[in-house]
Amino acid sequence: MIPLLGTSLPVFIGVTVFLAGGAAFMTGQALSANWRPVWQAVGYSLLLGFADRFIVFSLFGGELLSLSGYLIDTAVIMSVTLLSYRLTRARSMVTQYPWIYERAGPFGWRERRGGPG
């Protein structure tokens, strides 16, 4: 067990990175696709962090009330949520408004050169 994480490294990778990270990715996509504000992604990430700590505690005997574990888990989850949110928002802007915007990398868009039309 790693005291800072409140669990072992394999459990952290399996539960936080893969399980909660997958849920965070889908959460970011859903929020962005429905044009929700980014602060909602932050709120849902905090809730997913609590769920992650509970799963680690109940299934793998990790510490439930580990503040450092919660903060690390939530940071990973929030990073995935916000990256997914931005990826989906960039894709939506370019797909729905192709006459105004063009792709500027995986996370951004810019006005089309030459303006609309």
Domain ranges of the chain: 9-111
pLDDT at residue 3 greater than cutoff 90 = no
Q: pTM for the complete prediction?
A: 0.91
Q: Which residues contact 105 (CB under 8 A, 6 or more apart)?
A: 90
Residue 117 is predicted with a pLDDT of 53
Distance CA 109, CA 117 (A): 17
Closest CA to 29 of 19, 41, 39, 17: 41
Q: What is the pLDDT of residues 29-68, one digit of tens each?
A: 999 999 999 999 999 999 999 999 999 999 999 999 999 9
Portion of the chain with pLDDT greater than 90, in percent? 89
Give, in order, the Cα–Cα distances in Å from 76 to each of 16, 60, 61, 81, 100: 8, 19, 21, 9, 34
Distance CA 114, CA 47 (A): 44
Q: Which residues contact 114 (CB under 8 A, 6 or more apart)?
A: none
Residue 114 is predicted with a pLDDT of 72
